[in-house]
């Protein structure tokens, strides 16, 4: 009964926080500003709709860049394709937008297209994942999470957890579900774990597979790992986003084990469906990754419109949650 009530509270709060937002992930959504003199035309190229985090991120932008707030908002959901992102950017250049906001699918391959944008004289704001370019002036600024720090937070949590369970010197076999390979969220979270394993001789990387940040991908990868490693040999699951974690939990249960008890579960994002599992004990640690970039990017554009400079790199604030602190903030969660 308690679980049902908790779920009902979460779902109604989440629904309330997104009221009035368009839930569609249309390929192009266009809204006309109310006052043409001050309408700011923003072209936003989103990664896709692969995860609950991504959908919360999209809704955050759609609820910020509204016609009532003086924007004409062009939205493209690239469905995980960098080529679609390139095409969308060229289309935004042709439509002469005032700003291009880009959430890059992967870190590499952006030099040429961003040079085209620079020739068109359109500023580029990066949101969420980062890029590796030969010339950092190809984009104006970036707002997002420190993915390496998120990985370090997870390792720090696991170290303390094992110490508290008197397992600090025991052999610990860790299976690792990676996100979309080459995405900076995957690169940073993987580095955090690898650095941790390198510093603890009793931590072993038992298996490593990409689930591409999706629930289906996480379940399939975990099933393959269970087959190759053996469910009884797995002590910890380090999963680089909640959607993969939810799929992996299904696979762990199908193998007859109790997630959060037989296997320590560490996950990233802290979206409410997974956050609930801290309360029920199926997930031990959630490393938050704040998806609510819309207001921050809106603030950046307003600052630029007023002729003021903006910081090049802007990290969002994030926390780590487990059974000691999740309950207290459960009702304040906004995604
Ligand atoms: C992180 C973001 C990642 C999330 C995943 O900022 O890029 O992509 O962790 C999402 O859920 O798919």
Domain architecture of the chain: domains with CATH: 2-144+291-317 (3.40.50.2300), 147-289 (3.40.50.2300)
Q: Is 275 in the pocket of ligand 1 (CB under 6 A)?
A: no
The pLDDT tens digits of the residues spanning 283-331 come to 999 999 999 999 999 999 999 999 999 999 999 888 999 999 999 999 8
Q: Is 51 in the pocket of ligand 1 (CB under 6 A)?
A: yes
Greatest pairwise CA separation for the chain in angstroms: 67
Q: Whose CA is nearest to atom 1 of ligand 1?
A: 185
* Bridge-based pairing state of the strands 141-144 and 172-178: unpaired
The alpha carbon of 241 and the centre of ligand 1 are apart by a number of angstroms equal to 7
Q: Is 335 in the pocket of ligand 1 (CB under 6 A)?
A: no
Q: Copy the structure tokens of residue 311.
A: 């910081």
Distance of alpha carbon 245 from alpha carbon 21, whole angstroms: 27
The alpha carbon of 116 and the centre of ligand 1 are apart by a number of angstroms equal to 27
pLDDT of residue 34: 39
- Please list, in sequence order, all residues whose beta carbon lies within 8 angstroms of the beta carbon of residue 302, skipping any fewer than 6 positions away: none
Q: Copy the structure tokens of residue 74.
A: 């062009």
Q: Is 213 in the pocket of ligand 1 (CB under 6 A)?
A: yes
pTM of the entire predicted model = 0.87
Distance of alpha carbon 335 from alpha carbon 333, whole angstroms: 6
Looking at the CA of residue 50, tell me the nearest atom of ligand 1. Answer: 12
The pLDDT tens digits of the residues spanning 256-293 come to 999 999 999 999 999 999 999 999 999 999 999 999 99
Q: Whose CA is nearest to atom 6 of ligand 1?
A: 128
Q: Is 286 in the pocket of ligand 1 (CB under 6 A)?
A: no
The alpha carbon of 307 and the centre of ligand 1 are apart by a number of angstroms equal to 32
Q: Is 268 in the pocket of ligand 1 (CB under 6 A)?
A: yes
The alpha carbon of 104 and the centre of ligand 1 are apart by a number of angstroms equal to 11
Query: What is the three-class DSSP state of 293?
Result: coil
Q: Is 189 in the pocket of ligand 1 (CB under 6 A)?
A: no
Confidence of residue 203 (pLDDT cuts 50, 70, 90): very high
The pLDDT tens digits of the residues spanning 60-82 come to 999 999 999 999 999 999 999 99
The answer to whether residue 2 scores a pLDDT higher than 70 is no
Spell out where 220-284 has E strands: 236-239, 264-269
């Amino acid at each position: 009964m308690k679980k049902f009530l908790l779920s009902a509270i979460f779902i109604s709060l989440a629904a309330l926080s997104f009221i009035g937002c368009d839930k569609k992930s249309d390929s192009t959504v266009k809204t006309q500003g109310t006052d043409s003199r001050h309408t700011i035309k923003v072209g936003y190229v989103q990664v896709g709709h692969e995860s609950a985090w991504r959908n919360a991120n999209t809704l955050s932008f759609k609820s910020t860049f509204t016609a009532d707030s003086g924007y004409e908002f062009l939205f493209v959901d690239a469905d995980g394709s960098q080529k679609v992102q390139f095409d969308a950017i060229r289309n935004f250049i042709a439509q002469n937008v005032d700003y291009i906001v880009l959430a890059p699918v992967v870190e590499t391959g952006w030099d040429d297209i961003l040079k085209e944008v620079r020739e068109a004289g359109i500023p580029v704001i990066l949101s969420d994942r980062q890029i590796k370019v030969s010339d950092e002036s190809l984009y104006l600024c970036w707002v997002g999470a420190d993915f390496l720090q998120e990985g370090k937070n997870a390792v720090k949590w696991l170290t303390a957890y094992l110490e508290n369970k008197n397992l600090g010197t025991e052999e610990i076999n860790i299976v690792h579900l990676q996100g979309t390979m080459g995405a900076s969220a995957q690169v940073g979270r993987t580095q955090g774990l690898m650095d941790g394993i390198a510093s603890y001789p009793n931590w072993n990387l038992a298996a490593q597979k990409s689930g591409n940040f999706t629930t289906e991908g996480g379940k399939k990868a975990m099933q393959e790992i269970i087959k190759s490693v053996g469910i009884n040999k797995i002590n910890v699951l380090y999963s680089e986003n909640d959607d993969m974690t939810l799929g992996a939990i299904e696979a762990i249960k199908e193998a007859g084990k109790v997630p959060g008890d037989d296997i320590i579960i560490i996950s990233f994002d802290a979206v409410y469906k997974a956050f609930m599992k801290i309360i029920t004990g199926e997930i031990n640690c959630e490393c938050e990754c704040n998806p609510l970039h819309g207001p921050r990017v809106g603030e950046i554009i307003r600052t630029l419109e007023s002729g003021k400079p903006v910081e090049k790199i802007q990290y969002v604030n994030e926390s780590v949650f487990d059974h000691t602190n999740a309950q207290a903030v459960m009702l304040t969660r906004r995604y």
